[in-house]
Amino acid sequence: MSGPLDSNHTHGSQTLSTAPKTCILAQLALRFSPDCDLPRTRTNSNEFPLRLRLSSPPPPKKGRSTTVSRRASRNECAPEVFNQRACLKWFQEYSQNDDPNIMGPDGVEKFCSDINVKPEDIVMLVLAWKMKAKQMAYFTQEEWLQGMTEMSCDSIEKLCYKLDSLRNLLKDSATFKSIYRYSFDFTKDKDQRSLEIETAKSMLRVLLADQWNLFPQFMKFLDESKYKVINKDQWANILEFTRYVRDDLSNYDYDGAWPVLLDEFVEWLGKDNSMNQSEV
């Protein structure tokens, strides 16, 4: 078959002359110039315009190089595969010297630094929830592998890429509730059934400060109250209170099944508001 620069190549009803190659290129440049009024028809609907074909590289020869090229192209499109060995090697960078199956506080701090996240960032709580970690500031190798496998992360780069999607999980009401309830057992000491009040306040600040308008008042109430710990039932109901009770407390049911803690908060809030109004 004749090539695009063959001296006998035809285009439409015209035939290119058998002039020297420089003359042929001059005719082509004139014929396909943007200012040329000649029609730019194609001889075949599947062909590119000749000007594009001239600027394109020649098709590769069939053979081993073509096969390798196609194989490389398929690999570029293929999803990344989780590498368990790389994931475990990554964990060993943070594990304790005396127990390679445990990442302790120092390792967690270094891990946070490597992914450019503060330890108190809520995304670390989401990450712990993904791993089903049982104790704050500690990850076991088993927990690490379980969570990272689920997220298909075996390197810092992959995890950093997933951080935004982990934060977005908090926007789902059911997922947030699951993470909130998980945080109680995750945060409390193993040998205790309740959260120390200061620990509870710190965790509530991470979880609720940005989404509950009455949060500052609740923190003030806890500071002035007699409570030294928060139990699991109180912890769960604080979230329900933030979701179902209006900021003006107009729909609060005093005869409902709310914990005494929240009944006292509502009573305290009423007195606090009265005092503020009298001062004005």
Domain CATH number, residue 196: 1.10.238.200
- 129 shares a domain with 55: no
Residue 164's identity, in one-letter code, is: D
Pair (148, 200) in one structural domain = no
The answer to whether position 5 is within a domain reads no
Beta strand pairing call for 10-11 and 14-15: antiparallel
CA distances from residue 119 to 106, 123, 162, 166, 257 in whole angstroms, order as listed: 11, 9, 17, 15, 36
Phi and psi, residue 230, nearest 5°: -125, 125
User: For 102-124, what is each residue's pLDDT tens digit?
Assistant: 999 999 999 999 999 999 999 99
Residue where the block lists tokens 């993904």: 130
Question: Are residues 181 and 217 both part of a single domain?
Answer: yes
Pair 150, 202 in one domain: no
Distance of CA 162 to the CA centre of its chain: 3
Residues 176 and 133 in one domain: no
Residue 144 sits in which domain range? 83-170
Task: Kindly report the CATH number assigned to the domain that includes residue 122.
Answer: 1.10.238.10
245/222 Cα distance (integer angstroms):
18
H helix runs in the chain, sequence order: 21-31, 50-55, 64-77, 84-92, 105-114, 122-131, 141-151, 156-168, 173-187, 197-208, 215-224, 232-244, 260-279
My answer on whether 153 and 210 are in the same domain is no
State how many domains the chain has. Answer: 3
**What is the average per-residue pLDDT within 71-98?**
78
- The answer to the question of residue 26 being in a domain is yes
Give the global pTM.
0.70
pLDDT one-digit tens code per residue, 162-192: 999 999 999 999 999 999 999 999 999 989 9
Q: Would you say residue 4 lies in a domain?
A: no
- Say how many CA atoms lie within 13 Å of 126 toward its Cβ: 21
